[in-house]
C-alpha cells in the first residue's frame, strides 16, 4: 500500500478506522525528510495491512502543532486509536521495520491498563 497524505480533516477517520497507522511528519525543504521518504515508502510496501501516512508540516501547521512537532522528520504511531510511539529523526529502514513488527505484536489491553493506571494516579 502506498502512503497516504493526511490532513487535519482526515486525521481522526484514518486513526479510528485502521488498526495500525504510522505517520511521517515532514516538509519539502527538509533534507533528512527527503532522504527518509523513500525508506518510508519502501517499508510501506512490505506491510500492506498497516496505513502509512504523511503530514506536510508546512501545509498542516495546526496538526503538527497539536503534536508539538519541533523537529522533522518525526515518526508517530497509533494502534487502535492510541498513540504508542513518537520519535524525531529519520529511522533507518531496519529500525522502522522492527518498530512495525513490535507494534503489531503490542498487547493493547496492557497499554490500556497502563493508561488507566496512570490516569488514576494523576487524579489521586
The CA-atom distances, in angstroms, between 19 and each of 68, 82, 106, 115, 121 are: 24, 10, 11, 18, 28
pLDDT at position 1, please?
A: 53
pLDDT tens digit at each of 124 positions of the chain: 568 999 999 999 999 999 999 999 999 999 999 999 999 999 999 999 999 999 999 999 999 999 999 999 999 999 999 999 999 999 999 999 999 999 999 999 998 998 888 888 876 5
Each domain of the chain, given as residue ranges in start order, spans: 4-123
For residues 42 and 58, give the distance between their C-alpha atoms in angstroms, rounded to a whole number: 24
* Secondary-structure class of domain 4-123 per CATH: alpha beta
pLDDT at position 124, please?
A: 59
Asked if 100 and 20 touch (Cβ cutoff 8 Å), the reply is: yes
Residues labelled catalytic:
30, 33
Amino acid at each position: 500500500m502506498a502512503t497516504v497524505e493526511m490532513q487535519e480533516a482526515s486525521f481522526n477517520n484514518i486513526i479510528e478506522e485502521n488498526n495500525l497507522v504510522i505517520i511521517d511528519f515532514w516538509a519539502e525543504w527538509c533534507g533528512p525528510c527527503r532522504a527518509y521518504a523513500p525508506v518510508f515508502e519502501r517499508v510501506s510496501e512490505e506491510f500492506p495491512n498497516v496505513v502509512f501516512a504523511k503530514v506536510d508540516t508546512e501545509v498542516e501547521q495546526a496538526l503538527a502543532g497539536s503534536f508539538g512537532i519541533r523537529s522533522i522528520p518525526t515518526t508517530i504511531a497509533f494502534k487502535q486509536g492510541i498513540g504508542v510511539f513518537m520519535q524525531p529523526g529519520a529511522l533507518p529502514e531496519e529500525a522502522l521495520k522492527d518498530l512495525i513488527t513490535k507494534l503489531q505484536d503490542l498487547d493493547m489491553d496492557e497499554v490500556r491498563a497502563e493508561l488507566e493506571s496512570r490516569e488514576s494516579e494523576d487524579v489521586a
